[in-house]
Amino acid sequence: MTTTKTCSEIGDFLSEYATWLWGCGATCIRLEKNVRRMAQTLGVEIDMGIMPTHIYATVWRHDRSDCYTVVRAMHKSAISFDVNTQLSKLSWDLADGRCDFEQARRMFEHIKQTPSANPWLVLLLASVANASFCRLFGGDAVAMLLVFVSTLCGFRVKQMMLADKVDVRIVFACSSFFSAVISAGGHLFSWGSTPEIALASSVLYLIPGIPYINSVSDMLDGHYICAYSRLMDGIVLTACLSLGLCCGLVVMSMKII
């Protein structure tokens, strides 16, 4: 089976697989392990250079009878641990002989079609989550309700703007602004006993946790360029949400501290 496949076919498949795995939020160590696992099973050697926007891969046979080099842009998509899980499972299925190369390619095409979760359900769950977050910081019931409403509005703004393909940095600033302005109402009208906590936790659903976590993972694995890139992504998004919060505070003329 493996001997009939050329290095170009295998290289194209593995490089596209790698770009999708990166796009759904996998770390560099997972990406390398999954791709090498499949390459070994397919009877080829592979060396990869992982860059934040591109992947460079060279695939060759042990006897050097065939060789293929490919450069491919990273796939841009929303973070999806479901796709990450399915792609990781695919690499094991191929390595353990549960599927052959053609079946793996078909399964990969199927995984690419994985639908995202129901946006309304995510909206509700994220709002409940942020209200719980407020409770963890010591917020009272009024503060929780305020955070629930401000998250509901801010997160909906985020979903709508992302659907309209607006730049993610602008999306973060606008969502944070909306949430901050709504939750600042608690401060202005003295609702409840912990309005400051409501204001503080109203924008936390926007914290870009995955870039930070993946950045440290890449750093521990020695992929410093990718680690730096992900760290900068996280910092830029955090700065944008802080900007939205600042503007919200200024617009509502908050008398803070």
Q: Rule CB under 8 A: choose which of 170, 207, 225, 251 binds other proteins.
A: 207
Q: Rule CB under 8 A: choose which of 157, 162, 168, 246 binds other proteins.
A: 246
DSSP 105-117: HHHHHHHHTPPPP
Q: Which residue's CB is nearer to other proteins, number 5 or number 89?
A: 89
Rama region for 68: left / alpha / beta (φ>0; ψ in -120 to 50; rest): beta
Residue 8 found at the interface with other proteins (CB under 8 A) = no
- Residue 9, both tokens: 């076919």
- Residue 246, both tokens: 């600042």
Q: Rule CB under 8 A: choose which of 12, 132, 157, 168 binds other proteins.
A: 132
Which residue's entry shows tokens 């694995």?
221
Q: Rule CB under 8 A: choose which of 10, 11, 15, 25 binds other proteins.
A: 25
Minimum CB distance to other proteins, residue 82 (Å): 5
Rounded distance, CA 60 to CA 44, Å?
6
- Residue 251, both tokens: 């617009």
**Cα dihedral value 5, 15, 108, 8, nearest 10:** -20
- Residue 116, both tokens: 């995202």
Q: Rule CB under 8 A: choose which of 168, 213, 236, 252 binds other proteins.
A: 213
Q: Rule CB under 8 A: choose which of 67, 70, 79, 142 binds other proteins.
A: 79
Q: Which residue's CB is nearer to other proteins, number 47 or number 82?
A: 82
Q: Which residue's CB is nearer to other proteins, number 55 or number 241?
A: 241
Residue 121 found at the interface with other proteins (CB under 8 A) = yes
Residue 186: closest CA among 224, 131, 231 = 131
Cβ burial, residue 194 (10 Å; 0-12/13-18/19+): buried
Residue 231: closest CA among 214, 245, 247 = 214
Minimum CB distance to other proteins, residue 226 (Å): 14
- Residue 115, both tokens: 């639908």
Supply the DSSP symbol for 100. -
Q: Which stretch binds other proteins (CB under 8 A): 41-49, 73-81, 102-110, 167-175?
A: 73-81
Q: Which stretch binds other proteins (CB under 8 A): 1-9, 26-34, 53-61, 64-72?
A: 26-34
Residue 130 found at the interface with other proteins (CB under 8 A) = yes
The residues of the shown chain that bind other proteins, judged by CB under 8 A, are 25-27, 29-30, 33, 78-86, 88-89, 91-93, 96, 98, 116-117, 121-122, 125-130, 132-133, 135-137, 196-197, 199-201, 204-205, 207, 209-210, 212-217, 220-221, 242, 245-246, 249-250, 256-257
